[in-house]
Amino acid sequence: MPAQTHPAERLLNLVIALVNTAGRLTKEQIRTTVAGYADATSGDAFERMFERDKDALRELGIPILTVVGSGHSDDVGYRVDQEAYALPAIDLTAAELGVLSLAAEFWQDKSLRTDARRALSKLRAVGVAPSGADLVAGLAPRVRAAGESFGPLLDAVQARQPVSFTYRAASTGDVRDRVVEPWRLLARRGGWYVIGRDQGRDAPRSFRLSRIEGRVQAVGAPGSYEIPADLDAAAILEARSSERPRVATLALRPERASALRSRAADPASPVDLAEPDLTTDPDIVPLLAHRDLVRVPFAGVSDLADEIAGYADAVVVLAPADLRAAVLRRLRAAATLDTLDQADTLDQVDTLDQVDAGDAPGPQEEPRG
C-alpha cells in the first residue's frame, strides 16, 4: 500500500497548481492532477480534504479566488490571485541591505539562522552591491541562541494560548512550574525573554528563555486571553530586572565597538560610579593614550561579558572587577577552542559565571597575536 502524502506537501502541491494555472482549476481537475488528493477514499473525503486545505491556505494569507464559469453557475474553479500574492519589485538601497545583513547576523539559533541567510541571499540577488554591509561594519548584535522554547512560545503568542514550563529563578535558584499567558518575545541584554501574565501571581512577569528547563507545553485553548493594547514589554522587563543597574568603565580602540559606544552614558549626566577617577591613575593613563574612555550602564555581568569578549583586544575593562574577571574567563576559554570542543568550553564558562570569582584579578590583559 503506497504511503500517503504528508498534508504540508499536499498544501504545497495545491499552491503550485493554483499559481501556475492559466485560468482556473475545477475540483475534479484538482483531485486528478494535484499529488496528494488521490489519497481520498471517496468523493466526500475529497470534499472535506480540499475544503480544509483551502481554508488553511487562506489563513496563511494566500489569496485563493473562486471563479465561476461563464456558461454554468455550478461550474466552479479556483486559482490564486497573482496580483495579491506576488511581491512587488524590491528596490533596496545599499544602506537598507546593510541593515538586513546585520539583522540576519542576529539570528544565531539554528532553527532560524538557515532561513535568515537564505532570505538574505535572495534579497542580494536584486543587484545591490554587497558593499552596503560596510555601512554597518563593526555593529554585531550578540544574542544567545533562543533554544528549543522559542518556537513553542512564538506559536503561543500568535495563538494567544497559555503555556506551562519549569523555570529556574536567577535570584534564588528556585525551580518552579509556571503557567503563563505569553504576550511578547523580546531580545535584551544578550538573551531572549518572554513577557506575559503569570497566572499564579496574576501579574505581568518576564522570563528569560535560557532559564526555562524542559519543554514548553500548551495548557489552554487558543484565543483564551487578550494581549493588552497598551503593552510596553520593554518597560515590564526593566521593572522586573533582578539585577541592580551598574556602570562599566571601558577603554575602547578608536572607531571600534560601535554598539557599546551607542549605549555609553552621557558624560554631562551625573553618574555614581562608586569608584575612583581612573583617568588620573598613573597605571591607567598610558593605556588611555590611544583609547577612548566610555562608561556603559549594564544590569547583568554575564550578558555584558559575553558581548565584550567578542570584541577581543578592542575593549579593555577597567571596572568593575567582577566584570573584568568574567571577560578574562571568556577570553581564556576562547584560547582553548583549538584543543577543546567549543560546546564544552562554553559550558565551562557558564558554570564559572555561577560561582564566586574569588580574588579579583589585576587589570585586564590584552590578547596577543
Q: Provide the pLDDT for residue 104.
A: 65
Best mean pLDDT range from 126-130, 177-181, 352-356: 177-181
Query: Residue range 357-368: average pLDDT?
Result: 37
Q: Where are the domains of the chain?
A: 7-85, 94-136, 150-239, 246-353
Top-confidence residue, 318 or 177: 177
- pLDDT digit string (tens) for 87-140? 677 777 766 776 676 666 665 555 566 666 666 666 666 554 444 444 444 445
- pLDDT digit string (tens) for 137-156? 444 555 555 678 888 998 99
What stretches of the chain adopt beta strand conformation (E)?
A: 25-26, 64-68, 76-80, 163-168, 175-188, 191-198, 203-208, 212-218, 246-252, 292-298, 315-319
Task: Examine the pLDDT at 186 and tell me if it is beyond 80.
Answer: yes
Task: Examine the pLDDT at 171 and tell me if it is beyond 80.
Answer: no
246 SS3 class? strand
- pLDDT digit string (tens) for 57-86? 988 888 899 888 766 556 789 999 888 877
Q: How confident is the model at residue 341 (pLDDT cuts 50, 70, 90)?
A: very low
pTM as predicted = 0.42
- pLDDT digit string (tens) for 36-49? 998 888 989 999 99
What is the topology classification, in CATH, of domain 150-239? SH3 type barrels. (2.30.30)
Between the alpha carbon of residue 136 and those of residues 124, 263, 294, the distances in Å are 16, 16, 21
SS3 breakdown of the chain: % helix, strand, coil, rounded to 5?
Answer: 40, 20, 40
* CATH topology identical between 7-85 and 150-239: no
Which CATH number, 1.10.3470, 1.10.8, 1.10.10, 1.20.1740, labels domain 7-85? 1.10.10
Average pLDDT, rounded, for the chain: 76
How far is the C-alpha of 129 from the C-alpha of 101, rounded, in Å? 12
Nearest to 295 by CA among 314, 313, 268: 268
Top-confidence residue, 272 or 317: 317
Please state, for a pLDDT cut of 90, what percent of the chain lies above it. Answer: 21
Q: Provide the pLDDT for residue 298.
A: 81
